[in-house]
Amino acid sequence: MISSIGTHFLNNSLCGFSGRLRQSQWRPSVVVSAAASSNGRPEERNVTVLAESSLKEIRDAAAAPVVAVSGGVEDVYGEDSATEDQSITPWSVSVASGYTLLRDPHFNKGLAFAEKERDALYLRGLLPPVTVSQDLQVKKLMHNIRQYQVPLQRYMAMMDLQERNERLFYKLLIDNVEELLPVVYTPTVGEACEKYGSILRRPQGLFISLKEKGKILEVLKNWPEKKIQVIVVTDGERILGLGDLGCQGMGIPVGKLSLYTALGGIRPSACLPVTIDVGTNNENLLNDEFYIGLRQRRARGQEYAELLNEFMSAVKQKYGEKVLIQFEDFANHNAFDLLAKYGSTHLVFNDDIQGTASVVLAGIMAALKLVGGSLAEQKFLFLGAGEAGTGIAELIALEMSKQTDIPLEETRKNIWLVDSKGLIVRSRFKTLQHFKKPWAHEHEPVRDIVDAVKAIRPTVLIGSSGVGRTFTKDVVEAMASFNEKPVIFALSNPTSQSECTAEEAYKWSKGRAIYASGSPFDAVTYNGKVYVSGQANNAYIFPGLGLGLIISGAIRVHDDMLLAASEALAAEVTQENLDKGLIFPPFTNIRKISSHIAAKVAAKAYELGLATRLPQPKDLVAYAESCMYSPSYRTYR
Ligand SMILES: NC(=O)C1=CN([C@@H]2O[C@H](COP(=O)(O)OP(=O)(O)OC[C@H]3O[C@@H](n4cnc5c(N)ncnc54)[C@H](OP(=O)(O)O)[C@@H]3O)[C@@H](O)[C@H]2O)C=CC1
Ligand SMILES: CC(=O)C(=O)O
Ligand SMILES: [Mg+2]
């Protein structure tokens, strides 16, 4: 009898292989199995699962004559076939039962192991007598987490759970998404990254530093999972609005990928968080004895480009063409170039540029139902002209152009941006970074945001500067002076960097603002009325977008997919939401929303000829739903 825990590994296994093979030529990814012997105890037997690429080598080697040096039966370890001066691998055979099973986060169920499972899997005595349901475990954990007053303690409790019992972690997160999103994601993940060195217990994700140059493919092979579908990678240089956190940025890919699973239904084992460590220019970290990254200033230029290139090539070699690589929180001087460079060779997506654009466009589409008028009739002003600002601006201009047939160069003229030097105008053209140049319109220089608001008279004001409290009372009052319903997005994260709070937006606009923020704010009561603000965060988009790319087998990301995602998200905003002033649907329905986004994105991939999973499923929403990971416990034989 083979333990069910091992069976899924067995499908592709190469049982009983014998042959001569150098140790370095093969590497089993998993060694698992329990087979009952006559006395009913598990008999350890090795079953190896080999990477596809290794199979040919193995078959070739198997065909070669066998020369065993130490006698005995030829075995699957290669031990017998190694010469005495060759080193061999001390394979450890683990049986996923008993004590080991309780410590395996993929299979552990804690007190939810049923009586039969406790017998079959040698758990008797290792657990107290009570058997509980997963729902009761969720209830207990929520009770425990609510006891922590400090958000970082809640974050650590969640990370501990993820390391202890993965399915329970995802069930908890999915069932309590509104309450726990701010714990595993912004704002708390920001604080976690700042203190990552001190709070780190077990490293999560894959760290690839300059030390691994020339060996990145080998490093990827160290990751225990082989079938990766989504990678979120950062180099830690622009973590939220907190700046350069170096290697400690790992909290971001880990957090984003937990949302890929919880909100988008991507299997956890298919997700790989990566931090590329090329040093940090953060003096505090360089002088911090607990800092976990390379203690050197950031590599730039060729050294940086070569490491990234090696990473991108290794990923494609190891996981194939269809692995989605999400760039996250790179500084803008690298982000745009990486997206341009790898956009034509890999399935890449920059969340800060593209995901943010898609979510904000969705929010604007919904806001227009409250404000009235078409997209092309709006005038936009941004504070912040980096990845988020120019990414959103470009997608809005594209959508306007599609809606009106007016050329893109013309629709861009409805959109103005302010950076740290003031309004982006034609006279600054020569000195502007390339991504700002399309926005350099004719206008006299304007230094401050408040003056820019008065000069441009936007209907929509968007904060993407990473600097908190920059939408002052004067700014919001100016917006409210010429807009019946001023639309204000304060996108910067975490909460400390928000351009203005929800309370400030409602109070200073006398309750007339339509407001959304990157990090969540509690409902606000103003003049006896309760205002609920939406969360304008790319977390609405990337999980569904990623699911859509995966289920269609897309090989490239296209702007039209971002527009499709925006439309799908905007369509989920109900009249009831709008009546409360909400321009985003509640996160409680996010898995349903993600399946709709995925379906629209996949449909677009098929339409554009970028899908490889054929034939196209008839009902893409139902197909997307059927592909989503469920965190409910499985029954073990
Ligand atoms: N809600 C969401 O989903 C998302 C939110 N964000 C948030 O947006 C913020 C910015 O991110 P990103 O665009 O990637 O960052 P970038 O560094 O690419 O861009 C920041 C921009 O803000 C400008 N800026 C900085 N300080 C000021 C200031 N005092 N006054 C005016 N402009 C200023 C910079 O000007 P200059 O170019 O002159 O230096 C730059 O143009 C971050 O806080 C991030 O967390 C990002 C992605 C998604
Ligand atoms: C949300 C996000 O991606 C950011 O703040 O960078
Ligand atoms: Mg980001």
Residue 4 has pLDDT above 80, yes or no: no
The pLDDT tens digits of the residues spanning 468-520 come to 999 999 999 999 999 999 999 999 999 999 999 999 999 999 999 999 999 99
- Binding site membership of 387 for ligand 2 (Cβ less than 6 Å): no
Predicted ipTM of the assembly: 0.99
The pLDDT tens digits of the residues spanning 338-371 come to 999 999 999 999 999 999 999 999 999 999 999 9
Average pLDDT in the 286-312 region?
A: 97
- Binding site membership of 537 for ligand 2 (Cβ less than 6 Å): yes
Residue 79 has pLDDT above 70, yes or no: no
Cα–Cα dist 355/328, whole Å: 10
Please, are residues 362 and 527 in contact by the beta-carbon 8 Å criterion?
A: no
- Binding site membership of 421 for ligand 1 (Cβ less than 6 Å): yes
Q: Give me the pLDDT at residue 95, please.
A: 60
CA of 377 relative to ligand 3 center, distance in Å: 30
The pLDDT tens digits of the residues spanning 132-180 come to 999 999 999 999 999 999 999 999 999 999 999 999 999 999 999 999 9
Select from 537, 542, 545, 587 the residue to mutate for testing ligand 2; criterion: most ligand atoms less than 8 Å from CB. 537
Looking at the CA of residue 355, tell me the nearest atom of ligand 2.
3
CA of 328 relative to ligand 3 center, distance in Å: 5
Q: Give me the pLDDT at residue 97, please.
A: 86
Calculated CA dihedral for residues 167, 168, 172, 175, nearest 10 degrees: 60
**Which residue would you say has higher pLDDT here, 422 or 35?**
422
Residue 24 has pLDDT above 60, yes or no: no
The pLDDT tens digits of the residues spanning 41-65 come to 333 333 333 334 444 444 444 444 3
Q: Among residues of the chain, what percentage have pLDDT more than 90?
A: 83
Residue 88 has pLDDT above 80, yes or no: no
Q: Give me the pLDDT at residue 81, please.
A: 56
CA of 537 relative to ligand 2 center, distance in Å: 7
Please, are residues 358 and 538 in contact by the beta-carbon 8 Å criterion?
A: yes
Angle at alpha carbon of residue 583, lines to 580 and 584, rounded to 5°: 110
| Residue 615 dihedral angles phi and psi, to the nearest 5° | -75, 165
DSSP-assigned letter for residue 441: B
Please, are residues 241 and 193 in contact by the beta-carbon 8 Å criterion?
A: no
Reported as a pLDDT band with limits 50, 70 and 90, residue 9 is very low
- Binding site membership of 237 for ligand 2 (Cβ less than 6 Å): no
Contacts of residue 258, Cβ cutoff 8 Å, sequence gap at least 6: 162, 169, 170, 173, 184, 268
Reported as a pLDDT band with limits 50, 70 and 90, residue 80 is low
Q: Give me the pLDDT at residue 63, please.
A: 43
Residue 472: strand, helix, or coil = coil
Reported as a pLDDT band with limits 50, 70 and 90, residue 89 is low
Active-site position among 109, 171, 226, 256: 256
Reported as a pLDDT band with limits 50, 70 and 90, residue 637 is confident
**Which residue would you say has higher pLDDT here, 67 or 237?**
237
Q: Give me the pLDDT at residue 198, please.
A: 87
The pLDDT tens digits of the residues spanning 584-620 come to 999 999 999 999 999 999 999 999 999 999 999 999 9
CA of 257 relative to ligand 2 center, distance in Å: 13
- Binding site membership of 345 for ligand 1 (Cβ less than 6 Å): no
Residue 460: strand, helix, or coil = strand
> Any binding-site annotation on 537?
yes
Looking at the CA of residue 186, tell me the nearest atom of ligand 2.
1
The pLDDT tens digits of the residues spanning 94-120 come to 567 899 999 999 999 999 999 999 999
Reported as a pLDDT band with limits 50, 70 and 90, residue 307 is very high
Residue 142: strand, helix, or coil = helix
The pLDDT tens digits of the residues spanning 242-260 come to 999 999 999 999 999 999 9
What is the reported pTM? 0.88
Residues with CB in 5 Å of ion ligand 3: 328-329, 352
CA of 547 relative to ligand 2 center, distance in Å: 19
Active-site position among 77, 155, 170, 185: 185
Cα–Cα dist 171/159, whole Å: 14
DSSP codes, 205-272? SEEEEGGGTT-HHHHHHHSS-----EEEEE-SSS-TTS---GGGGGHHHHHHHHHHHHHH---GGGEE
Q: Give me the pLDDT at residue 571, please.
A: 98
| Alpha carbon nearest to ligand 1 atom 1, residue | 518
- Residue with tokens 């804690």, as numbered in its chain: 110
Q: Give me the pLDDT at residue 163, please.
A: 95
Looking at the CA of residue 538, tell me the nearest atom of ligand 1.
3
| Alpha carbon nearest to ligand 1 atom 21, residue | 384
Start-to-end Cα distance in the chain: 10
Select from 188, 351, 535 the residue to mutate for testing ligand 2; criterion: most ligand atoms less than 8 Å from CB. 351
Please tell me the least confidently modeled range out of 1-15, 79-93, 580-594.
1-15
| Residue 546 dihedral angles phi and psi, to the nearest 5° | -60, -40
Average pLDDT in the 539-557 region?
A: 98
- Average pLDDT over the chain reads 89
Please, are residues 353 and 336 in contact by the beta-carbon 8 Å criterion?
A: yes
256 included as an active-site residue: yes
